[in-house]
Amino acid sequence: MAINWPANARKSFGSDILQASHTLDQSPLFCDAALAALLDAYPRDQLGIWTFGEHGEGEEAPVRGRAPDLSGEELMQAVRRGRIWLNLRAVNAKVSDYGPTADAIFGSLEQASGQKVFKRDMGVLISSPGVNVHYHLDIPLVSLFQIRGEKTMWVYPATVDFAPDERLESIVLREQEEGLTFRQAFETSARRIDMKPGMAVTWPQTAPHRVQNGDMLNVSLSCEFMTLPGLIRANALYANGKLRRQFGAHPKRPNGLTPATLGKAALARLMKQAEKRRIANGPTPATFELDLSAANCVRPLSGVEA
């Protein structure tokens, strides 16, 4: 399998949007039968089953579902007919057949960036025609590989105007999910990327983004990772969040590997060691169950939690 990032990626890795070409769309691991087998092999209680409302201004929390009794084949039918996305996180750690694909992807990112790439998590996303993912940001670095179908991605600047510092810190501190408030006015600053099979993209750490599927089933790989500068920055954000909340400070967003950023990263390590990390909210409870006989394959659960 071939993955080709631009020759000059080192200079702009982590600060610019970079696109690659690849041949993973030709792999037999992503045909319908292989995906059904993957869904059968993957631990069902860890399978992310989600839906979102229509795209619009404001905030839109993802809605979680469950499917304890469907086969992999039936799950594929539900994706085709419904309005859902299945998120199989860390497939590289859970289903060994997919390990070499992840090694090739993260190896290519290591080469392109000239940096060690760790915390490697390759998620397989299988999503319905027309479904969208609301405006949000991720703390790790992310690379999205498009395998089947077409989707449009909008990426916004990783600045305070598009995600206020306090919200960004809340996400690092795990006080809230990754969702953010979307404003129509952001559109003029967005970079639009039309993803087709054989394309991959990576964007600056914590840059907000949203995704809209075309009118067909989509298969993509969401590859999360960290580099040393990325990890230092995430730790500095964590320290900023603590300083703002516990000491009333007004810290600036980390920008590059300055002594202040490195100091905050060290501080964050100490803080994390000193306290038991508080998990503010448990996992989002399931509010629907996939059911092939229900409208859009969704049967609401009333008063039942997964």
Which residues of the chain form contacts with Fe ion (CB under 5 A)?
Answer: 138
Minimum CB–partner distance for residue 242 and Fe ion (Å): 24
- Other CB atoms within a 10 A radius of the CB of residue 118 amount to 13
Minimum CB–partner distance for residue 180 and Fe ion (Å): 11
> Is residue 124 classed as helix, strand or coil in its secondary structure?
strand
- The Cα–Cα gap between 78 and 35 comes to 13
Minimum CB–partner distance for residue 156 and Fe ion (Å): 12
- Other CB atoms within a 10 A radius of the CB of residue 301 amount to 15
- The Cα–Cα gap between 162 and 182 comes to 8
Q: Is the dihedral of CA 93, 95, 100, 102 positive or negative?
A: negative
Nearer Cβ to Fe ion, position 128 or 202?
202
Nearer Cβ to Fe ion, position 153 or 217?
153
In the chain, the DSSP E strands lie at 3-4, 18-22, 48-51, 63-66, 85-88, 118-127, 132-136, 141-148, 151-155, 191-195, 199-202, 209-213, 218-226, 286-290, 298-300
Nearer Cβ to Fe ion, position 105 or 239?
105
Nearer Cβ to Fe ion, position 138 or 177?
138
Nearer Cβ to Fe ion, position 72 or 123?
123
Minimum CB–partner distance for residue 285 and Fe ion (Å): 22
Tokens (6 digits) for 135: 């405006």
- Other CB atoms within a 10 A radius of the CB of residue 140 amount to 17
Paired with 125 in beta bridges are: 87, 220
Nearer Cβ to Fe ion, position 138 or 165?
138
Minimum CB–partner distance for residue 250 and Fe ion (Å): 28
Minimum CB–partner distance for residue 222 and Fe ion (Å): 7
- Other CB atoms within a 10 A radius of the CB of residue 208 amount to 26
Residue nearest to Fe ion (CB): 138
Nearer Cβ to Fe ion, position 22 or 134?
134
- The Cα–Cα gap between 38 and 55 comes to 30
Minimum CB–partner distance for residue 144 and Fe ion (Å): 8
> Is residue 39 classed as helix, strand or coil in its secondary structure?
helix
